[in-house]
């Protein structure tokens, strides 16, 4: 966001917000999602930042240096982490979102690279993360160990029934930048004004596209990670101000009385190189990795991983308005070279970026709606990963995948990649199983039964599927 505009506004406002604002470079890009599909390959690609222990697995009594697709809430990730891609050394949390692809006029797809946001240094792609305190000096409580949450509905394809000026309508938006991060000076704040839309921009954006994602900030005070990963959180009650979530005061509802920091992510997609390939029929050519060409289905996940009470100390003592990391003396800052050198090896042996693909990874043919997207039957996408426990359905992979980097795709290469066609895996307890999912038919592991459950998303709509119990 434009900090000169923010500070100018703050000097006029009767109350202003203290915040942390910092970059997190790319950790890895692959089909993992340990919240929604723990223990199995995710239906679609995510770009992930933060600490590598997201995929750490337990071997005997010790933790080794290989990573898994399941999450153990008992692990203190800050203690087991070897590095972090985020600016603050104390933050080994993980943050991830869907990935944006460009659809070539010939029908092939290529990943859109991410670029550094304004005033963040030189991180390798990734995103900008904010922890924002509410106005009026309202005290916030840090997320506790084991906390995680999601926001957004990957199946959403229209905004019917959603107040576009309310909490939900402004939670996930896309800004169409002019050249050099150009914005409307009357609407500088994320999620506001005519340049920020719920759906993907319908025109070429000279400066790229930025995803703006606001999580709810009111906690029920009890659940760290409910089955739907979302119902323990709510947005504050009250009318969203002209300048959006960033300046939202309000009060927490009685069902969710604990005010937490407002977690906000910005991801800048470098779409500039594709502007000369805009479709002649006027349609926009970008699609999110879950097969969403509308933008309504963008979503994000968060796994808390701050060291000890470091986030609470930062919220209590780092109360200036600049958000500049070095101004928060309670935390330790890392250099660009340190955060850029923190990487995780790709563990799903498939190509997801760097060249054109004949289809989106994971069987995600674009579904423009307006009905909610549906799961794809008989998917032949790769369902195994390097380090998969023995005895799990799916082929054994012994090759080493290409290291993931944020790349600048070119329009000259049209190489296509066809994935192998393994059987769907057995899904562990609390994973999606017992039916046909986005990765094909699945079965529950021995000793589990399944029942129909429903995930409720903060951007409207439910997804029903089978849960092993």
Residues 6+ apart with CB under 8 A from 85: 24, 25, 26, 27, 49, 50, 51, 123, 126, 339, 340, 342
Within its chain, how far is the Cα of 349 from the centroid?
21
One pLDDT digit (tens) per residue for the chain, 469 residues: 444 444 433 433 333 478 999 999 999 999 999 899 888 888 999 999 998 754 444 433 333 333 347 778 888 888 888 899 999 999 999 999 999 999 999 999 999 999 999 999 999 999 999 999 998 778 899 999 999 999 999 999 999 999 999 999 999 999 999 998 988 888 888 888 888 899 999 999 999 999 999 999 999 999 999 999 999 999 999 999 898 888 888 899 999 999 999 999 999 999 999 999 999 888 999 999 999 999 999 999 999 999 999 999 999 999 888 889 999 999 999 999 999 999 988 989 999 999 999 999 999 999 999 999 998 888 888 888 887 776 554 433 333 333 333 333 343 333 333 333 333 333 332 233 333 333 333 343 343 333 333 344 444 444 433 333 2
Domain boundaries, the chain: 1-365+376-420
**Rounded to whole angstroms, how far apart are CA atoms 63 and 56?**
7
CA dihedral 280, 283, 285, 290 (to 10 degrees): -160
pTM: 0.81
**Rounded to whole angstroms, how far apart are CA atoms 64 and 86?**
22
């Amino acid at each position: 966001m434009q900090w000169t505009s923010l500070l100018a506004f703050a000097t006029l406002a009767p109350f202003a917000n203290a915040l942390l604002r910092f970059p997190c470079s790319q950790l890895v890009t692959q089909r993992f999602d340990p919240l929604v599909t723990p223990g199995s390959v995710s239906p679609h690609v995510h770009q992930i930042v933060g600490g590598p222990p997201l995929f750490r697995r337990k071997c005997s009594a010790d933790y080794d240096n290989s990573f898994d697709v399941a999450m153990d809430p008992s692990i203190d990730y800050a203690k087991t982490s070897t590095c972090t891609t985020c600016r603050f050394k104390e933050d080994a949390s993980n943050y991830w979102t869907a990935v944006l692809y460009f659809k070539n006029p010939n029908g092939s797809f290529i990943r859109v690279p991410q670029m550094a946001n304004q005033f963040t240094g030189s991180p390798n792609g990734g995103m900008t993360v904010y922890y924002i305190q509410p106005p009026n000096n309202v005290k916030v409580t840090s997320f506790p160990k084991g906390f995680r949450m999601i926001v957004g509905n990957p199946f959403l394809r229209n905004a019917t029934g959603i107040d576009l000026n309310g909490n939900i309508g402004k939670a996930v938006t896309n800004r169409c930048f002019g050249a050099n991060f150009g914005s409307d000076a009357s609407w500088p704040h994320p999620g506001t004004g005519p340049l920020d839309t719920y759906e993907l921009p319908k025109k070429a954006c000279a400066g790229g596209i930025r995803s703006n994602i606001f999580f709810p900030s009111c906690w029920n005070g009890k659940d760290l990670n409910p089955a739907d990963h979302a119902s323990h959180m709510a947005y504050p009650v009250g009318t969203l101000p002209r300048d959006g979530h960033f300046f939202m005061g309000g009060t927490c509802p009685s069902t969710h009385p604990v005010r937490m920091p407002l977690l906000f992510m910005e991801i800048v997609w470098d779409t500039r190189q594709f502007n000369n390939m805009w479709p002649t029929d006027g349609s926009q050519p970008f699609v999110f990795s879950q097969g969403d060409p509308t933008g309504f289905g963008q979503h994000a996940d968060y796994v808390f991983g701050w060291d000890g009470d470091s986030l609470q100390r930062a919220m209590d003592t780092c109360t200036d308005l600049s958000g500049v990391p070095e101004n928060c003396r309670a935390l330790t800052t890392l250099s660009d070279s340190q955060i850029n050198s923190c990487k995780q090896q790709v563990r799903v042996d498939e190509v997801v970026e760097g060249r054109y693909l004949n289809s989106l990874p994971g069987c995600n043919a674009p579904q423009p709606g307006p009905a909610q997207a549906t799961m794809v039957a008989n998917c032949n996408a790769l369902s195994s990963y390097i380090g998969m426990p023995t005895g799990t359905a799916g082929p054994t992979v012994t090759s080493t995948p290409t290291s993931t980097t944020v790349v600048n795709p070119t329009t000259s290469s049209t190489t296509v990649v066809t994935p192998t066609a393994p059987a769907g895996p057995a899904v562990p307890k609390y994973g999606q199983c017992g039916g046909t999912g986005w990765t094909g038919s699945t079965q529950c592991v021995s000793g589990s039964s399944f029942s129909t459950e429903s995930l409720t998303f903060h951007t409207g709509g439910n997804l029903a599927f089978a849960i092993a119990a």
